Amino acid sequence: MQNSREVARMMARAVMSVMFLGSGISLIFWLFGNRDTALQVCLGFGAVGVVVLLIGGYFVARARTTEV
């Protein structure tokens, strides 16, 4: 059980860092007037965040099934 918690913690940090980075870059573009670019960056990092979340879910499930 301990291994799956560590993997879940690591993957949650990865997802949060991707989303934080994407929202920061998007905010910078939005503040400087590039609203179309800000929307594209926001959607792009959102898609990357979903992919990282799915990969993290796979690794957490794998860690739980191998801990017997």
Q: How far, in Å, CA of 36 to CA of 65, rounded?
A: 44
CA dist 22 and 30 (Å) reads 12
What pLDDT, on the 0 to 100 scale, is given for residue 2? Answer: 63
Phi, psi of 34 (to 5 degrees): -90, 75
Question: What are the backbone dihedrals phi and psi of residue 66, each rounded to the nearest 5 degrees, phi first?
Answer: -90, 0
Mean of the pLDDT values across residues 37-60? 87
Q: Mean pLDDT for the chain?
A: 84
Q: How confident is the model at residue 9 (pLDDT cuts 50, 70, 90)?
A: confident
- Measured CA to CA, the distance from residue 47 to residue 15 in angstroms comes to 11
